[in-house]
Structure 1
Amino acid sequence: MKTKYIDLIDQTFDFPQEEFTLKHNELHFHGIDLMALIETYGAPLKFTYLPKISENINRAKRWFSDAMQEHGYKGRYNYCYCTKSSHFKHVLDEALKNDIHIETSSAFDIDIVENLKVEGKISDETYVLCNGFKRDQYIQNIARLINKGHRNCTVIIDNYEEIDLLSGSIDVPFQIGIRIASEEEPKFEFYTSRLGIGYKNIVPFYNREIKDNPMVTLKMLHFFINTGIRDNAYYWNELLKCMKVYVNLKKVCPSLDSLNIGGGFPIKNSLAFDYDYAYMVDEIIKQIKQTCDEAGVDVPHIFTEFGSFTVGESGGAIYQVLYQKQQNDREKWNMINSSFITTMPDTWAINKRFIMLAVNGWNKEYERVLLGGLTCDSDDYYNSEQHMNAIYLPKFNREKPLYIGFFNTGAYQETIGGFGGLQHCLIPNPKHILIDRNEVGGLTTTVFAEQQTSEQLLSILGYDYQINKVAAEQKQERDNDLIPEIVNTTY
């Protein structure tokens, strides 16, 4: 009878896979020996495998290039990185190696853009698409960027007042886009996205506020839906509605030449993940071209704003199972040496699931378990995989540490979790390692951040650490004086 963990994985999935292989009953990720990583840096541990960022960018570029060539599409494709997915410098540095552009969401993003320009990572030729609801500081920062000569900054208008706000601060002619307020799926609690301007209002808005404004040029229509790019009737229906707006707007606005289809490519969240990216890109390009041809207008240049797709599959987290608690006849809790709320907030905030695999012990028998974090919060747990309503891991043995890995966690976790700040129950952020490859393909590792210390957390909380450290030592000395001598006794 096949009862080992490796048997379970082999019977359930097509394994090994491109990024996951097994050597000596231990898991390797993109050729990275994870047990060797643990032996060097310990656990808990977070890591970023930088080459995966460039790999995904170039995959998307190839899909769009192939589709445009196949359909004789005359427009250009521009890959933009959605910075809110991960603002870290090492992420931007890696992404910008691949001739891409930037999409921003808030005021401080512009400071990052200016920093990248000073370093020569981007230039005035780089498109900077400014999304999001814009007030005060964001408006001023965008104006500063444009006034200093960044003509390829396109401000995506989210509401009717933003043109006036921008015009009050920008001294030169500037480019804008308009975001469509898409209709949400029926399961949503609201019918229309809070972001953007309604389908029926866009052409009247252009005629009223933009057409005769010599300082403003409309270049782009922006389309995005919350559920992402999916092969279902809802997505194709919304894309068709978007294209109807585009051709109607193009007929009255000759300067309009670009369509931004946003982000929304899914990332691998299970070993059973199945998504045909090339087909989806091909179908999108085909439908856009067909609609434009039928309307007799030129096809638009295509922009995308991939965030999670860019950086998500580069990240991972490794934990040690510290202890197993048998809480009743059916439930075994494997307690990890960190917190899901602290390190992977999406798992409890929106019930997101990532690929979870044992790092070692693949030749052991498996058992069904629940995973619990260190905090005293009932929501600090992980209880199911994307493909099944259960978690199976090698049987726990206190004498032989068990390590588990969560993969493709590179998007949003650090920013939502408040990297470097306070953490729930003061469970510290773990050590973070950057993994790259050198010119000959060998792996290199760098410590990006050490595990948070009590000094750092107490400082944020307003405590004078040194004073309290002395007080704690003095109290310990007093307590030691009161502890009676313990005599070993045999009964």
Structure 2
Amino acid sequence: MNTKYKDLIEQTFDFPQEEFKTENNNLQFHGIDLMSLVEEYGTPLKFTYLPKITENINKAKGWFKKSIKDHDYKGRYYYSYCTKSSHFKYVLNEALTNDIHIETSSAFDLDIVANLKAEGKIKDETFIICNGFKRDQYIKNIGALINSGHKNCVPIIDNYEELPLIQEQTKKKFKVGIRIASEEEPKFEFYTSRLGIGYKNIVSFYEREIANNPKVELKMLHFFINTGIRDNAYYWNELLKCISVYIKLKKACPTLDSLNIGGGFPIKNSLAFDYDYQYMIDEIINQINEACKSANVAVPHIFTEFGSFTVGEASGAIYEVLYQKKQNDREKWNMINSSFITTLPDSWAINKRFIMLPINKWNHRYERVLLGGLTCDSDDYYNSEQHINAIYLPVYEKENPLYIGFFNTGAYQESIGGFGGLQHCLIPHPKHILIDRDEEGNTITKVFKEQQKSQELLSILGYDKSS
């Protein structure tokens, strides 16, 4: 009888997979022995595997390159990273080694850009696409970047008041884009995105505010929908409306030459994940190409803004099962040595699912369990896994610790969880390590941040002696 955990996984999924395999009944991630990390650094532990960032960037570039060639598309492709997914310097350092561009969301984003420019990691030719609703300091920082001589700073106009405010801060001619206020998916509580300018108002806004303005050059139309790039009627309908606006605007504005289709490539959230990236890109390129040919206008350069896709699959978290509580005849609670609310906040806030696998004991029998966090909050739990609507793990043994990993957690979790700040019930933020490879392919690890100490939290709360 096949009753081992490994049998369950191999019978349920196509396993091993590109990033996951087992050796000596322990899990490996991109060839890294995760139990060796546990033995060296302990748990709870967060890790980021930096080469995965480069891998995903180059995958996307390759897919677009193939589609552009196959469809004889005359525009170029620009990969941009939206920093809000993860602002950490180690992420930007890795991503910028791949000739990419940057999308920002706030004033402090541009302070990061200035820091990276001073180190030579961002050039004057790098596109800095400034998105979001712009308050005073953001406007000032955009003006400072343009005045410094940065050639490709492109503020994306979100509302009618932004353009004159930016003009007040700039001393020279500058480029802009316009964001389309896309219609939301039917299940949303509102019809139109709060961001951007309505489809029907964009051409008139250009003609009124930009066409005869010698200080401003319109270069980009920006399109993004919250659900991301999905193969469904809603996405294709919104994309076609966007292309229609581009064509109308291009006929009125000769300087317009770029279409930003935003981001939203999904990342793997289950061992059963299936998404045909190449097909989606082929369809997008083909639809833009055919529509522009029919309208007899030049096709645009294509920009994307990939955040989660860039960094999400690079990171994971490892916990130890401290104890098993049997609360009734059927429910077994495996208590982890951390908190889901603080370390994986999306699992609590929006019921997001991550890949969850045991690190060790793959040759042991399995049981159905619930996972509980350390806080006293009743919502601090993880009770279903995307692929089988239940959690199965190797049987708990008090004398033989079980370690579990959550994977593809690299986007948003640190910033939403309040990295380096207060944590719910004062559960400390875990130790965080970075994993890289040298030129020979050998694994290199280093500690990015030690686990929070009591004094750090007491200082924030005002209990240190200096307060």
TM-score scaled by length of structure 1: 0.94
Which residue identity lines up with residue 36 of structure 2 in the other structure?
A: A
Identity, % of aligned pairs?
A: 77
Helix, strand or coil at the partner of 2:309: helix
In 2, distance between residues paired with 1:165 and 1:258? 23
C-alpha deviation, 1:174, in angstroms: 0.8
Post-superposition CA distance 1:233-263 (Å, at most 9, x none): 1111100000000000000000000000001
Post-superposition CA distance 1:434-487 (Å, at most 9, x none): 0000010000001000000001000000012699xxxxxxxxxxxxxxxxxxxx
The reply to whether residue 447 of structure 1 matches residue 447 of structure 2 is yes
Helix, strand or coil at the partner of 2:113: helix
C-alpha deviation, 1:208, in angstroms: 1.1
In 2, distance between residues paired with 1:313 and 1:464? 38
Are the counterparts in 2 of residues 458 and 465 from structure 1 also a CA contact under 8 Å?
no
In 2, distance between residues paired with 1:383 and 1:105? 34
C-alpha deviation, 1:212, in angstroms: 1.0
**Residue in 1 aligned with 2:151?**
151
**1:471-486 equivalences in 2 (<5 Å):** none
C-alpha deviation, 1:135, in angstroms: 1.3
Post-superposition CA distance 1:138-168 (Å, at most 9, x none): 0001100101111200000111110011111
In 2, distance between residues paired with 1:466 and 1:337? 32
**1:79-90 equivalences in 2 (<5 Å):** 79-90=79-90
**1:102-141 equivalences in 2 (<5 Å):** 102-141=102-141
**Residue in 2 aligned with 1:484?**
none
Which residue identity lines up with residue 111 of structure 1 in the other structure?
A: D
**Residue in 2 aligned with 1:169?**
169
In 1, distance between residues paired with 2:408 and 2:444? 20
Post-superposition CA distance 1:101-140 (Å, at most 9, x none): 1000000000000000000001101000000000100000
In 2, distance between residues paired with 1:370 and 1:179? 44
**Residue in 1 aligned with 2:25?**
25
**Residue in 2 aligned with 1:328?**
328
In 2, distance between residues paired with 1:208 and 1:16? 59
Helix, strand or coil at the partner of 1:323: strand
Helix, strand or coil at the partner of 2:169: coil
Q: Which moved more, 1:3-12 or 1:400-409?
A: 3-12
4+ residue runs over 6 A deviation: none
The reply to whether residue 295 of structure 1 matches residue 295 of structure 2 is yes
The reply to whether residue 59 of structure 1 matches residue 59 of structure 2 is yes
Indicate how the Cα distance of structure 1 residues 363 and 465 shifts in structure 2: closer, same or farther if over 3 A, else same: farther
Q: Which moved more, 1:91-100 or 1:207-216?
A: 207-216
The reply to whether residue 317 of structure 1 matches residue 317 of structure 2 is yes
C-alpha deviation, 1:387, in angstroms: 1.5
In 2, distance between residues paired with 1:373 and 1:189? 32
In 1, distance between residues paired with 2:28 and 2:465? 41
**Residue in 1 aligned with 2:35?**
35
**1:184-263 equivalences in 2 (<5 Å):** 184-263=184-263
Post-superposition CA distance 1:272-327 (Å, at most 9, x none): 00000011111110000001000000000000000000000000000000000111
**Residue in 1 aligned with 2:350?**
350
Are the counterparts in 2 of residues 455 and 465 from structure 1 also a CA contact under 8 Å?
no
Helix, strand or coil at the partner of 1:229: coil
**Residue in 2 aligned with 1:366?**
366
Which residue identity lines up with residue 183 of structure 2 in the other structure?
A: E
Which residue identity lines up with residue 150 of structure 1 in the other structure?
A: H
In 1, distance between residues paired with 2:283 and 2:210? 32
In 1, distance between residues paired with 2:300 and 2:464? 59
Are the counterparts in 2 of residues 27 and 358 from structure 1 also a CA contact under 8 Å?
yes
Which residue identity lines up with residue 242 of structure 2 in the other structure?
A: C
Helix, strand or coil at the partner of 2:269: coil
Post-superposition CA distance 1:329-364 (Å, at most 9, x none): 111110000000110100001110000000011111
Are the counterparts in 2 of residues 174 and 216 from structure 1 also a CA contact under 8 Å?
yes
Helix, strand or coil at the partner of 2:190: coil
In 1, distance between residues paired with 2:308 and 2:465? 38
In 2, distance between residues paired with 1:239 and 1:429? 41
Which residue identity lines up with residue 58 of structure 1 in the other structure?
A: N
C-alpha deviation, 1:388, in angstroms: 2.3
**Residue in 2 aligned with 1:423?**
423
**Residue in 1 aligned with 2:436?**
436
Helix, strand or coil at the partner of 1:185: coil
Which residue identity lines up with residue 342 of structure 2 in the other structure?
A: T
Are the counterparts in 2 of residues 75 and 299 from structure 1 also a CA contact under 8 Å?
yes
Which residue identity lines up with residue 415 of structure 1 in the other structure?
A: S
**Residue in 2 aligned with 1:181?**
181
Gaps of 5+ in 2: none
In 1, distance between residues paired with 2:436 and 2:234? 40
Helix, strand or coil at the partner of 1:168: helix
Corresponding pairs, count: 467
In 1, distance between residues paired with 2:172 and 2:360? 60
In 2, distance between residues paired with 1:135 and 1:24? 55
In 2, distance between residues paired with 1:443 and 1:117? 29
**Residue in 2 aligned with 1:399?**
399
Are the counterparts in 2 of residues 319 and 403 from structure 1 also a CA contact under 8 Å?
yes
C-alpha deviation, 1:171, in angstroms: 1.1
In 1, distance between residues paired with 2:116 and 2:220? 24
